[in-house]
Structure 1
Amino acid sequence: MRREWELDELIECWTLDEDELGLLSNKSGATRLGFALLLKFFELEGRFPRREDVPKAAVEYMAGQVGVEAALLFADYQWSGRTIEYHRSQVRKHHGFRQPTVADEDKQIFWLAGELCPEELSRDRLRAALLTRFRAEKIEPPTPVQVDRLLGAAVAMFERDFTTRTAQRLGSAAGARLDDLIAAPEVEADPVEVPVAAPGRSFLQELKEDPGPIQLDTLLAEIVKLERVRAIGLGEGLFEGVSEKIVESWRARAMRMYPSDFAAAAEPVRWTLLAALCWVRKTELTDGLVELLIQLVHKISVRAERKVESEISAEFRRVHGKNGILVRLAQAALDLPEEVVREAIYPVVGARTLADIVAEAKANEKVFNSRVRTKLRGSYSRHYRRGLPKLLRALEFGCSNTAFRPVMDALALLDRYADSEAVHYDRSETVPLEHVVPDDWKDAVVDPDTGRVERIPYELCVLVALHKAIRRREIWITGAKTWRNPDDDLPADYENNRDVHYEALSKPRDPAAFIADLQRRHLAALDRLNTAMGSDTTGGVKLTRRKGEPWISVPPLNRRPEPTGLVALKEEISRRWGVIDLLDVLKDVDHVTGFTKEFTSVASRTITHPDVLQRRLLLCLYGLGTNVGIKRVADGAVAAGLEDSEAVLRRIRRLLIRG
């Protein structure tokens, strides 16, 4: 119960009615005050309080009602013995409650295990739900210790039923394939100090690891992982009836376990842990592949543009007299600002000269785009193209927007020709070009002489179109979570209760009204910016150009003065305890809680001494948490005579932190 109460709240919640005052008629002194507090506390909370549970404000208010002195008499009330037991029985009778029986407790255990445990992880929320149910059934709730026992029994019952049901759904064949995950080859384990991957690693270790750098080999390795997980044969309804967060919690448990821990577990528990790990990792791997696809397409596009920009910059030669022409144009504009272009500019620089400059600029832009396409084609065909067929077969795309149907048809076409070595698509094929191939790419995609579509540039266009469609969530990926069908993110009753959900979001159902309101707010904001720029009250915001494009420049915010209370708090902390190094804080916290023991390696085993491992883990956490960086921390450790090199600490981070 909360400790602070306002007077109007005390009047509303702690005032005795006529019937309740009648129960006090034969009581006096501390007994009178204590009984009154028990009576109202039980009415509010549905349970009996301990002495420390009763708010001081309630004691004082109640003492005024029953006509006793609060401080002295409340301290004299006996919280154990026959008197309080008799008072409790009177309170139960008045409110219509009864004491719980063994049958009541068993009933609540079955209810928790069957209804709440499959959906809820938090013990606090389970406890609150249990107390609410006791109160609804007019049963006095057990003591906190008994409640914890009931919760533990319910969770144990749920886990037993959950693992048994999961093992039955898996079957012996899938279970055997899961057991194969923890069968590591018999090899000597490399010590943690060696900064290279150990040979003979089990697939379980690889499955726990995150993707490597953004490159084709990473993409191919993740595809292999995904295919191996799918080959285990986890059914679609394996975890039906259990919430995602429950499966996530079992996956988290599995991530912290070594193969020996799995081997020591009972078969249903072991299979459930491994199945949850594979189930969640399958979704994460699918999302990871999509992320890699998006990043790779962006990477090869940006890299091609940068290469061409650097080459053109090196080759650039100024056209003769162009600077002089620019100076004359600027001077004419300044001298004759009110004149029309024909009368002010043309006498200085002729129309033909201006037309030539424009034509030259357009030609340069056309050459630039052409060279970018050439670079893209070369980079894709020589390196990235070999991963495309595997990627398309690893991911299952979906789309419900007819405007993006051409992209889906193009993906199907690419899949049909995945194993073909033909340079062009067959003449009989219907190759989608609209909404797939940009206008400036059509000359590179379609042979002007034969009209046939060349595969390599077309595949590039499809990848770029797919990249854009996925980012817009117009095309989704089956089996993903982040990139899944957007309709799956809607509430289950969305179709039947659209008005309710739109009202909750304060949004109109009419898209035209939504767009009009958005445009109105944008225009109003731009008008305010325009007015502020005219009066020079933008606070440093100004319009500039960046890489030839318009750019709104916003200056960094000035540092605000620290609140007076915060300054005083810092000074008091410094006065009492001085300056404490964060590394010392980490060490002390670990000494008290032992939190570093919760970090487990993805390797099959660890042979480094626990004290050394603890020190290196704390150094890594310090470097990451303070943004000092592992390199600087390692330099300091080596300077202090420790053998914690940068390679060693980075390996610790990869094996134990993995964040």
Structure 2
Amino acid sequence: MRQDWEPEDLIEVWTLLEDDMKRVRNKSGVTRLGFALLLKFFEVEARFPESVREIPTAVVEYVAQQVKVPAEAWADYDWQGDRIKRHRKEIREAYGFRANTEEDQERLAEWLAAELCPVELSRDRLAAAVVARCRNERIEPPAPGRVGRLVGKAVKDFEAQFCLSRVERISHATRSRLEDLVAGSEDGTDEGAGGEGAVAGGGRSHFAELKADPGAPVLESLLAEVNKLKRVRRLELPADLFADVSEKLVDAWRARASKEYPANLERMKPPRRLTLLAALCHVRQTEITDSLVDLFIQLVLKINTRAERKVDKELNAELKKIRGKDGMLLRVAEAALSEPSGTVRRVIYPVVGGEKTLKARPAHPAG
């Protein structure tokens, strides 16, 4: 129940109409106020309040004015006796509702497990769906705490059936390969030294390696991702393993698996453990493929950058040589013009740094 009500909203929602006033006419005092508040609350929420505090003070005061009973009397309304039971029964009948039964709750749990749990992960939204369905079927919904337990049962039943149906689609050979991902990690972490086939290079389990993100854009990272992808493909998971459920659900199970240690997985029942591992591998196959593409692109860009830098370096070196040679020629020309009758050794050699420098400078082809 919302707690903030503007005056115009109070008038629109909480005004007692003619039929409402007829129902409260034969009541008096706190009984009259309590019945009126329960009546209008049920009209708004299709359920009864859990306590006095659930109905906002502004609402109590507005309804109290209409039935001419002090608002303070609401605190004295009896929530445990036979009177409130009679009030609830009368109000349900007034709106064409009936009380829920154990059979109703069992049916609602089955409906949730079959229809909504495969596509909705939020327990709050599942609870809201229960209340909405009760309203559509003109059934008073269970109390909020009971709805929460009903949702919990539905989720548990769905997950048990979901796991069994996944395992039934997986061959015995694939089940064995999935088990090998976490086998032998006795210390409960991803660093445990397990049996053969359970540990990858560097002492890291295949499970830890599978969850790990790709490394830096170097050849070793690319090869590691290739090996990781090969290992996932060797599991031979059925292509339709999760075809009948939402991608959001598979991603949620993949996230759960990523947070588990091998030892925790080994303590689970086989259907749940295998489903978690299968969801992880199913999603990781796509993720690893994407990371391979990204790594390859980054490596190509890195190689191109290095090649460009090498070419730039060589070009700069050649340009420096050319600039140096032009400067030397200018100095030679100036020396020759200043003393046209002098010898090469006396006039030219000094301006170019000596005979050795002149001989050491490589020739540059004319172009």
> What is the TM-score of this pair, normalised by structure 2?
0.80
- Do the aligned residues in 1 keep the contact of 2:254 with 2:280 (CA within 8 Å)? yes
- Do the aligned residues in 1 keep the contact of 2:30 with 2:77 (CA within 8 Å)? yes
Aligned equivalent of 2:269: 266
Amino acid at match of 2:222: L
Aligned equivalent of 1:116: 116
Alpha-carbon distance between aligned partners in 2 of 1:181 and 1:45, rounded to the nearest angstrom: 51
Q: Quick one: structure 1 residues 191 and 251, their matched pair in 2 at CA, closer, same or farther if it must change by over 3 Å?
A: closer
Alpha-carbon distance between aligned partners in 2 of 1:38 and 1:112, rounded to the nearest angstrom: 29
Deviation at 1:304, TM superposition (A): 2.4
Greater helix content? 2
Amino acid at match of 1:209: A
Aligned equivalent of 1:278: 281
Q: What are the equivalent positions in structure 2 for 1:490-639 lying under 5 Å apart? A: none
> Could you give the per-residue CA deviations for residues 257-308 of structure 1, whole angstroms, max 9, x where no partner exists?
2222222211111110110111111121111112112222222222322333
Alpha-carbon distance between aligned partners in 1 of 2:164 and 2:56, rounded to the nearest angstrom: 47
Alpha-carbon distance between aligned partners in 2 of 1:263 and 1:78, rounded to the nearest angstrom: 53
Deviation at 1:310, TM superposition (A): 4.0
Alpha-carbon distance between aligned partners in 1 of 2:269 and 2:191, rounded to the nearest angstrom: 30
Among 228, 233, 240, the residue aligned to 2:236: 233
Aligned equivalent of 1:176: 176
> Could you give the per-residue CA deviations for residues 220-269 of structure 1, whole angstroms, max 9, x where no partner exists?
11011111101101111101222122212222221222222222211111
Q: What are the equivalent positions in structure 2 for 1:118-137 lying under 5 Å apart? A: 118-137=118-137
> What is the TM-score of this pair, normalised by structure 1?
0.46
Does structure 1 residue 304 correspond to structure 2 residue 330?
Answer: no
- Do the aligned residues in 2 keep the contact of 1:229 with 1:282 (CA within 8 Å)? yes
Alpha-carbon distance between aligned partners in 2 of 1:256 and 1:14, rounded to the nearest angstrom: 49
Aligned equivalent of 2:95: 95
Among 218, 221, 244, the residue aligned to 2:221: 218
Alpha-carbon distance between aligned partners in 2 of 1:309 and 1:227, rounded to the nearest angstrom: 40
Number of residue-to-residue matches in the alignment: 315
- Do the aligned residues in 2 keep the contact of 1:14 with 1:62 (CA within 8 Å)? yes
Alpha-carbon distance between aligned partners in 2 of 1:43 and 1:308, rounded to the nearest angstrom: 80
- Do the aligned residues in 2 keep the contact of 1:78 with 1:84 (CA within 8 Å)? yes
- Do the aligned residues in 2 keep the contact of 1:183 with 1:202 (CA within 8 Å)? no
Q: What are the equivalent positions in structure 2 for 1:336-485 lying under 5 Å apart? A: none
Deviation at 1:89, TM superposition (A): 0.8
Amino acid at match of 2:273: R
> Could you give the per-residue CA deviations for residues 19-68 of structure 1, whole angstroms, max 9, x where no partner exists?
11110011122211111111111111111112221111111111121122
Alpha-carbon distance between aligned partners in 1 of 2:67 and 2:313, rounded to the nearest angstrom: 89
Amino acid at match of 1:301: N
Alpha-carbon distance between aligned partners in 2 of 1:261 and 1:186, rounded to the nearest angstrom: 10
Alpha-carbon distance between aligned partners in 2 of 1:11 and 1:226, rounded to the nearest angstrom: 65
Alpha-carbon distance between aligned partners in 1 of 2:303 and 2:228, rounded to the nearest angstrom: 24
Q: What are the equivalent positions in structure 2 for 1:153-192 lying under 5 Å apart? A: 153-184=153-184
- Do the aligned residues in 1 keep the contact of 2:97 with 2:140 (CA within 8 Å)? yes
- Do the aligned residues in 2 keep the contact of 1:184 with 1:202 (CA within 8 Å)? no
Alpha-carbon distance between aligned partners in 2 of 1:270 and 1:34, rounded to the nearest angstrom: 53
Alpha-carbon distance between aligned partners in 2 of 1:191 and 1:296, rounded to the nearest angstrom: 30
Aligned equivalent of 2:69: 68
Aligned equivalent of 1:244: 247
Aligned equivalent of 1:206: 209
- Do the aligned residues in 2 keep the contact of 1:166 with 1:238 (CA within 8 Å)? yes
Q: Quick one: structure 1 residues 186 and 30, their matched pair in 2 at CA, closer, same or farther if it must change by over 3 Å?
A: closer
User: Could you say what secondary structure the match of 1:297 adopts?
Assistant: helix
Aligned equivalent of 2:141: 141
- Same amino acid, percent of matched pairs: 53
- Do the aligned residues in 2 keep the contact of 1:184 with 1:200 (CA within 8 Å)? no
Q: Quick one: structure 1 residues 77 and 201, their matched pair in 2 at CA, closer, same or farther if it must change by over 3 Å?
A: same
Alpha-carbon distance between aligned partners in 2 of 1:104 and 1:126, rounded to the nearest angstrom: 16
Q: Quick one: structure 1 residues 296 and 27, their matched pair in 2 at CA, closer, same or farther if it must change by over 3 Å?
A: same
Deviation at 1:198, TM superposition (A): 7.9
Alpha-carbon distance between aligned partners in 2 of 1:227 and 1:198, rounded to the nearest angstrom: 15
Largest Rg, 1 or 2: 2
- Do the aligned residues in 1 keep the contact of 2:191 with 2:205 (CA within 8 Å)? no
Deviation at 1:191, TM superposition (A): 8.9
Aligned equivalent of 1:474: none
Alpha-carbon distance between aligned partners in 1 of 2:164 and 2:185, rounded to the nearest angstrom: 29
Question: How much is the aligned-residue C-alpha RMSD, in angstroms?
Answer: 2.3
Aligned equivalent of 1:466: none
Alpha-carbon distance between aligned partners in 1 of 2:18 and 2:202, rounded to the nearest angstrom: 82
Alpha-carbon distance between aligned partners in 2 of 1:35 and 1:184, rounded to the nearest angstrom: 66
Unmatched tracts of structure 2, length 5 or more: 193-199, 328-367
User: Could you say what secondary structure the match of 1:316 adopts?
Assistant: helix
Alpha-carbon distance between aligned partners in 2 of 1:232 and 1:45, rounded to the nearest angstrom: 52
- Do the aligned residues in 1 keep the contact of 2:15 with 2:63 (CA within 8 Å)? yes
Does structure 1 residue 52 correspond to structure 2 residue 60?
Answer: no
Alpha-carbon distance between aligned partners in 1 of 2:29 and 2:312, rounded to the nearest angstrom: 92
- Do the aligned residues in 2 keep the contact of 1:190 with 1:198 (CA within 8 Å)? no
Q: Quick one: structure 1 residues 61 and 190, their matched pair in 2 at CA, closer, same or farther if it must change by over 3 Å?
A: closer
Alpha-carbon distance between aligned partners in 2 of 1:57 and 1:81, rounded to the nearest angstrom: 26
Deviation at 1:139, TM superposition (A): 0.6
- Do the aligned residues in 1 keep the contact of 2:31 with 2:77 (CA within 8 Å)? yes
Q: Quick one: structure 1 residues 46 and 315, their matched pair in 2 at CA, closer, same or farther if it must change by over 3 Å?
A: farther
- Do the aligned residues in 2 keep the contact of 1:174 with 1:232 (CA within 8 Å)? yes
- Do the aligned residues in 2 keep the contact of 1:109 with 1:150 (CA within 8 Å)? yes
Alpha-carbon distance between aligned partners in 2 of 1:64 and 1:185, rounded to the nearest angstrom: 71
Alpha-carbon distance between aligned partners in 2 of 1:118 and 1:163, rounded to the nearest angstrom: 12
